[in-house]
Amino acid sequence: MTASLRERAEAATKEVQEILGVSADTHPKEIADAVERTIINALLEERQRCADVALKCCGDDRKKGQTIAEEINRINTALVANLSAMR
Contact 58, 68 (CB under 8 A): yes
User: In this model, does residue 22 exceed pLDDT 70?
Assistant: yes
Give CA–CA dist 13/1, Å, rounded.
20
| Model pLDDT, residue 86 | 58
Q: What is the pLDDT of residues 40-73, one digit of tens each?
A: 888 888 888 887 887 777 777 778 877 887 888 8
